Chains A and B, each alone.
Chain A
C-alpha cells in the first residue's frame, strides 16, 4: 500500500513540477476568466435593473455564483487533459505505461490533481486583486452543512470532469482527431453545466431532467451548494446521483481503455 502510494506520489510531484513551469499560462488564463466575470457582471446587472430577483435570487447571489464558478473551474476543471492523453496515444508514448507496473488512469489522475493545485493557487491572485471591487456584492450563506456537503461535491465534480476528459482522450484509439468532440462537449457543458447561467433558471421540467445528467454535477452542483442555490434535501440526493455518475464514468473509462488496447499496436521502442 505504501509502495503504491509512493508510486503515484512521485507522479503527483512530477505533475507539480511540470505545471509550475507553465504557471504563466495558468496565470494568464485566470486573468482572462475574470474578464468573463466582467461580462457576467455587466449582463446580469443590466438584467436585474428591471427586477429585484431573478429565479428567487438577488443580483449579489447570482454574482457570487459566477465568482464561485470561476474559482471552482481552476480547482476542479479539466484543462487539456483530453488532448494530452490523445497526444500520448497518437505518439506512442502510452507504450511505456503498458510495460510498467503503473495504472495509466491513476497516473493521469495524479498529474491532474497536481495541475489543479497549481491552477487553483494561481486563480486566487486575480481573485484577491478583484475582491475590493466585488466585496460589496458577494453574499455567502452561513450554514456549515454547505461546506460539509460542498467539499465532497467538489471532489466528485473533479473526478467526473477528469474522467470525461480521460474518456475523450481514449477515443483516440479509434479516431485520429478528438478536437471536434471535445469542443462539442464544451458547448453542451457550458449550457448544462451552468456556466452560461445558473441551471435553476431553466424551466422546471428541463431543470429536473438536467439533474440526471453528469454535466449538472461538474460545476453547477458544488457551486449551487456553496452559494445557497439548492437546499439540504436536494444537495443530499444530488450527492447520491453524483456518486452514481462517478461510478458509471469510471466504468466507461475502464471499458474504453481495455477495448482501446485491443486495437492498439506498439512497434519498436
Chain B
C-alpha cells in the first residue's frame, strides 16, 4: 500500500480521536491531570533526594531535572501516539477481536499501533518540554539551532526504541493466554531512562547502556543540550533504533503467524 494511504488512514484516526475527545471532555481533563501528576511525582522525587545530596553520579539537581524532562518527553510522545492502541493489543488477541485489524488495509502492526491517539499524552509532552526548557534556563544553557535539531532527532530515535520495546512486550500476548500486566515490562525498562549513564557500573552498564539502550535513549539527547554534539552516541542511538525496530517487527510477525494459525 502506498505511503500516502497510510498517511490518510492515520489522519482518519486523528480525526476520530479528536471527535471522541470533544465528546468526552471530562475524560481528557482527568487523564491530563493524571499525566501532570506523574510528572510532578518524578520531579518531587528528585527535589527530595537533592535535599540530602549534592550530586547523583556527577549530575546536579537541574541537570537531573533536564534528564527526567527528556525521558518524560519521549515517554509522553509514546503514550500520546501509540500507548492506547498497543495496550489493547493483548485484550484484542485474547478475545479474538484482533481479527478486525487483520481485515483492514495496511500492515497489521501499523493498524494496531495507530488506531487511537491520546491528546492528554501529547499535551503532557508539551509539559515535559517545558520542564526541559525550565531546567535549561536554570543551567544557563544556550544551545545552537544545530543542537536543537539534533536533540529533536535523538528524541525521535528514543521514541522508536521505546515503541519497539512496547511492541515486544505486548507481542507476548500472542504466546500467553492473558497478557494483563505485561505492559509493566515496558514501564519497568522506561524507569531506567531516568538515570544518568554514569550511575551504571560493570554488568549493569553493559546491560542497560549497550544491550538494552533504555539509558542511552534519554541520556544522549540530554547530554547534547548540556555538552554539545557527541557523534559516537548519536550513531549508537540511530543503530539501536533501527535494530530494535527490526526486532519488534519480526517478533510481531512471528506472533501474528501464531495468532492466524490459532484462529483459522
Contacts and interface: CB of A to CB of B under 8 A. Distances in A.
B30 A49 contact: no
Nearest to B199: A46
Contacts of B196: 46
B181 A177 contact: no
Contact of B52 (A24, A55, A177, A190): A55
A188 B202 CA distance: 35
Interface stretch (B4-12, B34-42, B154-162, B253-261): B34-42
Contacts of A103: none
A50 interface: yes
Overall SS of chain B's interface: helix
Contact of B44 (A35, A80, A191): A191
Contact of A187 (B34, B185, B204): B34
B175 to A, nearest CB: 11
Given A180-B30, A183-B34, A196-B45, A47 B184 contact: no
Contacts of A190: 41
Contacts of A80: 180
Given A42-B195, A46-B199, A180-B34, A201 B27 contact: no
Nearest to A184: B34
B181 A28 contact: yes
A145 interface: no
B33 A39 contact: no
A94 B211 CA distance: 48
A36 B48 CA distance: 19
Interface string B169-211: 0000000101011101100110110111011100010000000
Contacts of A35: 188-189, 191
B55 interface: yes
B37 A32 contact: no
B246 interface: no
Contacts of A48: 53
How big is chain A's contact interface, by range? 35 or more
A90 interface: no
A180 B35 CA distance: 10
A202 B37 contact: no
A28 B27 contact: no
Contacts of B200: 42
Contacts of B184: 28-29, 32
Contact of B181 (A29, A54, A55): A29
Interface residues of B, number: 38
A interface, by DSSP: helix, strand, loop or mixed? helix
A48 B52 CA distance: 9
B191 A39 contact: yes
A187 B38 contact: yes
Given A28-B181, A29-B181, A201-B49, A39 B37 contact: no
Contacts, number: 96
A28 B195 contact: no
Nearest to B215: A42
A184 B53 contact: no
B148 interface: no
A77 B204 CA distance: 29
Contacts of B54: 50
Contacts of A180: 27, 30-31, 33-34
B56 interface: yes
A25 B37 contact: no
A268 interface: no
B188 A32 contact: yes
A177 B188 CA distance: 25
A101 interface: no
B239 interface: no
B195 A201 contact: no
A196 B188 contact: no
Contacts of B182: 25, 28
B23 to A, nearest CB: 13
B52 A201 contact: yes
B144 interface: no
A124 interface: no
A22 interface: yes
Contact of A42 (B34, B40, B176, B199): B199
A174 B41 CA distance: 28
6 contacts: A25-B181, A28-B182, A32-B188, A39-B195, A54-B49, A187-B34
Interface of B: 27, 30-31, 33-34, 37-38, 40-41, 44-45, 48-49, 51-57, 176, 178, 180-182, 184-185, 188-189, 191-192, 194-196, 198-200, 204
Interface of A: 22, 24-25, 28-29, 32, 35-36, 38-39, 42-43, 45-51, 54-55, 80, 177, 180-181, 183-184, 187-188, 190-191, 196-197, 201-203
Given A47-B52, A187-B34, 4 more contacts: A22-B180, A42-B200, A43-B199, A49-B55
Enumerate the 3 nearest inter-chain pairs by beta-carbon distance, A residue then B residue, closest first. Answer: A180-B30, A187-B37, A46-B199
